């Protein structure tokens, strides 16, 4: 059963192969099992297939497993056992899947604007309720989500506040100041550190953060390039700078994550 709502009239959806609302708006499930609920609002440009596959290949090698474990444990600690979790910008559900394993009785939803990403998410787990949709127009009822999750994905503050229950939480992951510093040094003449976050989010109370720091050793050009393609700077970097990675076959780089925990401010 899905908890997603009709993006046109906002009524509940029901059904298996086709999801239908009381006003007869109908959305067929794709072969993979997800449903496309893109409303046209919030942009339709998610990650293309090559980026999805690069990220999937990198993540499946376990380099970010410590982060995955910390995020899943954090989400499980703030979510009721039978609660509702929404991963906003879930990608191919590397983290979502683990959250579902730790919360087997909860209803775990994921949305991403990239069809390719969501399709791979369906392959990773059949236990997830997945839709193609934008985080800026979530097909989810007001005040219905116990925990929203946002991992390296666009921060849609108004929507988080709208969909969260009064006591709901947001768990967000961002890169720390020195995240991937050695990788950046290999690409840029003058690399910049990541800006430190402003932890204030209006409508949410900052509860705390966890920091995670370690190093990873990459021993193939493929892993190095896959990691670089996962970064937000990938699209802003010149071909000449990216080409510097062609000659690198091994690299040890810093990993620094911050897991930020927020609670909804009761009205």
Q: Which is nearer to ligand SAM, 49 or 244 (CB)?
A: 49
Query: Which member of 4, 58, 112, 139 binds ligand SAM (CB under 6 A)?
Result: 112
Q: How far is the CB of 18 from Zn ion (least distance, A)?
A: 13
23 binds, among Zn ion, ligand SAM, none (CB under 5 to 8 A by kind): Zn ion
Question: Do the beta carbons of residue 123 and residue 100 sit within 8 Å?
Answer: no
Minimum CB distance to Zn ion, residue 19 (Å): 10
DSSP H helices in 8-86: 49-60, 65-78
Based on the shown chain and the rule CB under 6 A, indicate whether residue 258 belongs to the binding site for ligand SAM.
no
Nearest to 116 by CA among 31, 60, 33, 50: 50
Q: 1-40 mask for Zn ion (x: CB under 5 A)?
A: -----x-xx-----------x-x-x---------------
Q: Which helix (H) or strand (E) holds 222?
A: helix 221-229
Q: How far is the CB of 178 from ligand SAM (least distance, A)?
A: 19
Question: Among 4, 63, 94, 160, which residue sits at the site for ligand SAM (rule: CB under 6 A)?
Answer: 94
Which part of the chain contacts ligand SAM (CB under 6 A), choosing from 25-33, 107-115, 207-215, 221-229? 107-115
Q: What are phi and psi of 211, to 5 degrees?
A: -110, 145
Verify binding: residue 47, ligand SAM, rule CB under 6 A.
Answer: yes
Q: Strands (DSSP E) along 74-175, which ranges?
A: 84-88, 107-112, 129-132, 145-151, 164-175
Burial of 11 (0-12, 13-18, 19+ CB in 10 A): middle
CB of 44 to Zn ion, least distance (A): 20
> Which residue spans within 113-195 are E strands per DSSP?
129-132, 145-151, 164-175
| C-alpha span between 92 and 70 (Å, rounded) | 18
Contact (Cβ atoms closer than 8 angstroms) between residue 94 and residue 68: yes
Q: 90 vs 133, which CB is nearer to Zn ion?
A: 133
Q: Is 224 in the site for ligand SAM (CB under 6 A)?
A: no
Contact 183, 251 (CB under 8 A): yes
Q: Cβ of residue 95: shortest distance to ligand SAM, in angstroms?
A: 6
Minimum distance from residue 4 beta carbon to Zn ion (Å): 11
Name which of ligand SAM, Zn ion, none residue 25 binds, using a CB cut-off of 5 to 8 Å depending on partner kind: Zn ion
Q: Which of residues 127-166 bind ligand SAM (CB under 6 A)?
A: 134-136, 151-154
- For the chain, the C-alpha Rg in angstroms (whole number) is 19
The site for ligand SAM (CB under 6 A) is made up of 42-43, 46-47, 55, 89-91, 94, 111-114, 117, 134-136, 151-154, 230
């Amino acid at each position: 059963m899905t908890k997603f709502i009709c993006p046109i009239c906002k009524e509940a959806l029901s059904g298996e192969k086709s999801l239908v609302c009381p006003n007869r708006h109908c959305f067929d499930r794709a072969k993979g099992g997800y449903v496309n609920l893109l409303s046209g609002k919030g942009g339709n440009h998610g990650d293309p297939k090559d980026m999805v596959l690069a990220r999937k290949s990198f993540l499946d090698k376990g380099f970010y497993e410590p982060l995955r474990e910390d995020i899943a444990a954090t989400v499980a600690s703030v979510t009721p056992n039978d609660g509702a979790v929404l991963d906003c910008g879930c990608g191919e559900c590397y983290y979502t899947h683990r959250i579902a394993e730790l919360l087997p009785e909860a209803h775990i939803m994921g949305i991403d604007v990239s069809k390719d990403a969501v399709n791979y998410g369906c392959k990773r787990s059949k236990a997830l309720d997945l839709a193609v949709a934008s985080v800026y127009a979530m097909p989810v009822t007001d005040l219905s989500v116990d925990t929203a999750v946002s991992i390296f994905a666009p921060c849609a503050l108004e929507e988080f506040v709208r969909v969260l229950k009064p006591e709901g939480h947001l768990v967000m992951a961002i890169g720390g100041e020195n995240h991937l510093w050695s990788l950046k040094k290999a690409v840029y003449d003058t690399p910049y550190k990541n800006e430190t976050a402003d932890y204030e989010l209006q409508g949410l109370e900052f509860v705390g953060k966890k920091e995670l720091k370690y190093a990873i050793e990459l021993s193939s050009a493929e892993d190095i390039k896959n990691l670089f393609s996962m970064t937000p700077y990938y699209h802003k970097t010149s071909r000449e700078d990216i080409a510097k990675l062609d000659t690198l076959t091994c690299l040890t780089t810093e990993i620094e994550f911050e897991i930020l925990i927020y609670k909804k401010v009761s009205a």
